[in-house]
Every structure is written in structure tokens, then in C-alpha cells.
């Protein structure tokens, strides 16, 4: 998921207001308001290949595989099928000025922004290490990646970490978030994120 960190990103506003609901009513005439669920605008994901989402390993492998390949079209329906409704892809990077910038995208946004680059230039990304934290139906993966222009390139042109959140609904695995940052001179990959999977 690396190349978007090289594109100027819009800064994500961090000024989110958190409203605490009072546990005590002001009076009998003014009951404590009930929070209203906020609907998330989504489109239904295409049906996934069951083999792509049967396990965490298969889902992560499909994520890397579907964006990788020589110049030419990508299967964006397969890409979208890996993500839960409301899922986000978030690129984090550092500008030459030192400013930290973030770009938040839907799977459709990612396909539209990245598609032309991937299809014109060729792009191969593979996982080289993984750390997993899992409880019940939720999981968090730190997936270290290497990116190459050609499959057989001796050295990657970029490395970094994809922070991936996943959930299992009892039928399959879904990706909720992919949040990534490429390494740079000031932030080289630590040794613990280059070891084999835990």
C-alpha cells in the first residue's frame, strides 16, 4: 500500500469532538437524551471468493496479490470484496517539511487513485513479516511489506508497515482498516518487525 505516501496528502483534521452523555437526568421533565446511531454511507461489496476470506492468512495474501502485477488491469471487484462496509484505507506519510500528513480513503477511493499508477507502471508488494494480536472475532496485524516495480527486482524501492484490523462474522474474515506508513531515513523498520511471523 506504499506509493500513496509519495503523493501530497490532505491533512486529516484531528479536531473530533467527543460528547459524554450524562448518566443523571437534569429533571423528570428532561430525560437524558439517547445517542442516535450515525448511518455510514456504503455500497455493498462484491461477493468474495470463499478461498480469499476463509482465513486471516488467505485474506492478507489476497490483499497483496490483488494490487500486485505487471502493467495492466487489476481485479478491483476482488479488492473490494475483501473489505467490510465502511472500511477505510489510510496512508500516513511525512512531507519534506517534516509535517505528518494522512489521507483517508474508501476502497473505491483507493482503486480510483491508485489504479492508474499500478496499471501503468507495474507494482509488486509482498509481506515479509507479521505480528498478530487476536481476541475472539477481532484481530490486529502489523504486516511488514516490501514494494517492487518488477517481481524479480533485486531490491525493493520501498518498505513499510501495513497496520490491518480484521474481524470474523462467523462466516468469513473482513478487513476493516489498512493504515500504513513507509520507512524513511528517520524511521527505519525496527528489527522486531522484520522477523518471521509470530
Burial status of residue 107 (CB atoms within 10 A of its CB: 0-12, 13-18, 19 or more): buried
Mean pLDDT score of the chain, rounded to an integer?
82
Q: What pLDDT does 1 receive?
A: 73
Span 24-32, mean pLDDT?
37
- CA pseudo-torsion sign 159, 165, 170, 173: negative
Note the pLDDT tens digit of each residue in 34-55: 544 444 444 678 999 999 999 9
**Percent of the chain clearing pLDDT 90 (strictly above):** 71
C-alpha cell at 47: 461477493
Note the pLDDT tens digit of each residue in 107-132: 999 999 999 999 999 999 999 999 99
Which domains does the chain possess?
A: 3-9+49-193 (3.10.450.50)
Closest by Cα among 128, 136, 114, 134 to 193: 128
Amino acid at each position: 500500500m506504499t506509493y500513496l505516501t509519495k503523493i501530497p496528502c490532505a491533512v486529516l483534521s484531528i479536531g473530533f469532538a467527543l460528547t459524554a452523555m450524562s448518566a443523571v437526568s437534569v429533571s423528570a421533565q428532561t430525560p437524558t437524551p439517547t445517542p442516535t446511531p450515525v448511518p455510514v454511507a456504503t455500497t455493498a461489496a462484491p461477493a468474495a471468493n470463499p478461498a480469499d476470506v476463509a482465513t486471516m492468512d488467505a485474506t492478507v495474501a489476497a490483499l497483496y496479490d490483488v494490487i500486485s502485477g505487471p502493467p495492466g488491469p487489476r481485479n478491483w471487484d476482488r479488492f473490494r470484496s475483501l473489505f467490510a462496509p465502511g472500511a477505510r484505507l489510510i496512508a500516513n506519510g511525512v512531507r519534506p517539511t517534516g509535517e505528518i500528513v494522512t489521507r483517508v480513503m474508501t476502497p473505491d477511493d483507493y482503486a480510483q487513485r491508485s489504479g492508474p499508477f499500478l496499471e501503468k507502471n507495474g507494482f509488486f508488494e509482498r509481506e515479509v513479516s507479521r505480528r498478530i494480536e487476536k481476541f475472539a472475532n477481532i484481530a490486529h496485524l502489523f504486516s511488514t511489506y516490501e514494494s517492487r516495480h518488477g517481481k524479480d527486482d533485486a531490491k525493493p524501492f520501498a518498505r513499510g508497515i501495513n497496520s490491518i484490523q480484521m474481524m470474523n462474522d462467523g462466516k468469513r474474515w473482513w478487513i476493516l482498516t489498512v493504515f500504513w506508513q513507509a520507512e524513511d531515513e528517520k524511521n527505519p523498520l525496527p528489527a522486531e518487525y522484520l522477523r518471521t511471523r509470530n
